Structure 1
Amino acid sequence: MAEEEYPSISVLFDRYLKLYENVEKSDLPSQSDKLQEQIKEGIEGLVKTTVLVSELGVFSSNETLEEIPTSAIKFLLLPVLLGSLSLKRTDVERLHVLQLANVYFRDFVKRCKQYEFIDTELPSTEDDEDSSDEAEAEKKSLPKASTKQGMPSPEELQAMARQREEKIRRFKKKKDLGNQLMDLKKALDKPSHDEDILRNYYITLVRKFAYESVDELESVAMERKMLSKMKDLKMKGVLSSPEQVSELRPLKPILITKDALQKNVFGLGYPSLPTMTVEEFYDKRVKEGWFPEPRRDKNCLQDRAASDPQAEKEAQECEEEEREKEEEQDDPQKLARDREWDEWRDTHRRGWGNTYNRS
């Protein structure tokens, strides 16, 4: 189960996944201070969880989906949750928010394709930093612009038809996956569910988010293109510029990584910008006061890994001795609690509250 292999990280992830769901269901306006505080809290918590997942090296590029433990599958959702929450921020320049979300969504879709969750191609953009052969092939396969204004060429019409068919296929996939999630959720509510049901639930959840992320990438690309055009028109003086707003510190995406070769995800995801490893980032946050020092926090991963089993056994023995002393000394508070518990059990027979599946 999830709590057995990664107990603290699993609890942390579940907490901020619940916060994300509350933000999605919220009826508050997007610029509400309360909603924006929840969004920032969710982003900070998911960033912290991403750092811990990277430190543990949960994922490897040379493993398959069958090799990923059930307790780790849900951590694949970290980038898409960060991307979705980032899109809802209103205190940062919109063009920068879109650029940040693009990095998160693309990273998530790439991982899903790597583990064969989906078979959909990753949308390519003109300024995409990924210069792989697959991206180049996609760009070459796009139809050339028609020489006649307002009259699309046959190649463009075929490309439009393919895009429409792909969108319809993704829509049907998302609808089918949503129905499967509802059935799996009902099965998880039963106390007799096994690990296979939990694993299928996480896999279905990741697949549904993956198809939604492809749609989000297309929407982000269209909005970025529109805002870039508006920015060029403002620079040329065609459009009036709004009042100058105070410049805020730009955000940086934090993606799941495990070594220094992958540290280019820091700095907006471009290798040419300043970079740092997970360890460098964590040390920097400790100095700035964002994260606690590992040695001072008894609940951190390093101390739990280095904890002495003998010391834990001695601590348990001390607790048992204290309980025995309380019983021997007839502690009045403990006696009062025991009496209340006995009286409650006299008037509440075992099983009376369990009316599940009873007519």
Structure 2
Amino acid sequence: MVDLNMEGMSLPAIFDKARRIHISASDASVDQDAVKKACGLLRKCEEMIGKLGLFSRNETNDEISTSSLKYILVPYYLGEFIEKTTAEDRIEILKASQAKLKEFVSFCGTMELVPDDELESSVQSTNGSTFADIRAKKIARFKRQKAAESKLLEIKEQKERRGRSTRASALSTPVEAGEDNLEDDDGEEEREAWLTTISLAICKALDLLEMLKKEEVMLSAIRDKQ
């Protein structure tokens, strides 16, 4: 039984619950109750984001507050969870998932977070692209994905080192020189981490879009022959 009691919960709390499910979800097999719960949480996030008016397509990513950046990921997470939903009509699931992933990529494009060539290919057919073009694009995307993963690991390690250093300093002095800047450093680091997470999600969303489109074409061809 899926418990979706979100009464009185804040947007950050709802998003955090959905993100924890996303992090813990296995690529191979995901419990359907968890999938449905995550979808419900993320749809509630969408509703609240709309009511709060957090984003505008007239903005750039520089104008979005650090605390709001993470909510850009909502349609990406939702697209992934929709794809994992078990349903009789797989084609409709594929279409719904692709719609959310395209929404995510499109918005990120508006925020100038997507390379121009990737943005074009995400909304256009690749029929006119040569094999060399497609291969070059995949290689470039793979490199961006690896760079984002490395950056996130670096940020995590820096945060852990700073945490250990701060705890050690607290044992010897009540106020360490430069401590006034810690909050600013954390804010900059948090922003960089979310922007890097979004960059990584864009790479994964584009890969998933290509995979889902191929599956949709295959299943549609099978259905048409029946």
- Category of TM-score, reference length = shorter chain: 0.7 to 0.9
CA distance in 1, matches of 2:186, 2:152: 16
**Mapped contact 1:95–1:227 kept (Cα < 8 A):** yes
**Mapped contact 1:42–1:85 kept (Cα < 8 A):** yes
Matched, 1:205 2:197: yes
Secondary structure in structure 2 of the residue aligned to 1:63 = coil
Aligned counterparts, 1:148-159, within 5 A: 159=130
CA distance in 1, matches of 2:106, 2:85: 24
Instruction: Give the deviation of 1:16 after TM superposition.
Output: 1.1
In the alignment, structure 2 segments of 5+ residues that lack a partner are: 1-8, 164-181
Instruction: Give the deviation of 1:114 after TM superposition.
Output: 0.8
Which residue matches 1:17?
A: 19
Matched, 1:70 2:61: no
Instruction: Please tell me the root mean square deviation across aligned C-alpha atoms, in Å.
Output: 2.0
Aligned counterparts, 1:342-357, within 5 A: none
How many residues align? The count is 195
Q: Cα–Cα, structure 1 residues 188 and 55, in superposed 2: closer, same or farther, change >3 Å?
A: farther
Instruction: Give the deviation of 1:142 after TM superposition.
Output: 4.9
**Mapped contact 2:79–2:96 kept (Cα < 8 A):** yes
Which residue matches 1:121?
A: 119
What do residues 85-113 of structure 1 show as CA deviations (whole Å, max 9, x unaligned)? 11111134211110000100000000111
CA distance in 1, matches of 2:88, 2:191: 37
Instruction: Give the deviation of 1:56 after TM superposition.
Output: 0.1
2:145 to 174, 186, 194: 174
Larger % of helix: which? 2
CA distance in 2, matches of 1:16, 1:211: 20
In the alignment, structure 1 segments of 5+ residues that lack a partner are: 1-6, 125-134, 144-155, 235-359
Instruction: Give the deviation of 1:196 after TM superposition.
Output: 0.3
Q: Cα–Cα, structure 1 residues 97 and 199, in superposed 2: closer, same or farther, change >3 Å?
A: same
Percent of aligned pairs sharing the same letter: 27
Which residue matches 2:93?
A: 97
Secondary structure in structure 2 of the residue aligned to 1:194 = helix
Instruction: Give the deviation of 1:45 after TM superposition.
Output: 0.7
Q: TM-score, normalised by structure 1?
A: 0.51
**Mapped contact 2:152–2:197 kept (Cα < 8 A):** yes
CA distance in 2, matches of 1:39, 1:166: 31
Which residue matches 2:210?
A: 218
**Mapped contact 1:188–1:198 kept (Cα < 8 A):** no
**Mapped contact 2:42–2:74 kept (Cα < 8 A):** yes
Which is bigger in relative contact order (C-alpha 8 A, separation at least 6)?
Answer: 2
CA distance in 1, matches of 2:210, 2:121: 7
Secondary structure in structure 1 of the residue aligned to 2:119 = coil
**Mapped contact 1:105–1:217 kept (Cα < 8 A):** yes
Matched, 1:60 2:60: no
Q: Which amino acid is the alignment partner of residue 18 of structure 1? A: R
What do residues 33-84 of structure 1 show as CA deviations (whole Å, max 9, x unaligned)? xx11111111111111111111000001111111100000000000010010
CA distance in 1, matches of 2:120, 2:44: 27
Which residue matches 1:183?
A: 154
**Mapped contact 2:113–2:199 kept (Cα < 8 A):** yes
CA distance in 1, matches of 2:212, 2:36: 20
What do residues 288-345 of structure 1 show as CA deviations (whole Å, max 9, x unaligned)? xxxxxxxxxxxxxxxxxxxxxxxxxxxxxxxxxxxxxxxxxxxxxxxxxxxxxxxxxx
What do residues 9-48 of structure 1 show as CA deviations (whole Å, max 9, x unaligned)? 11221121011111136x6x45xxxx11111111111111
**Mapped contact 2:87–2:93 kept (Cα < 8 A):** no
Which residue matches 2:175?
A: none
Matched, 1:228 2:199: no
Instruction: Give the deviation of 1:160 after TM superposition.
Output: 1.0
Instruction: Give the deviation of 1:187 after TM superposition.
Output: 2.9
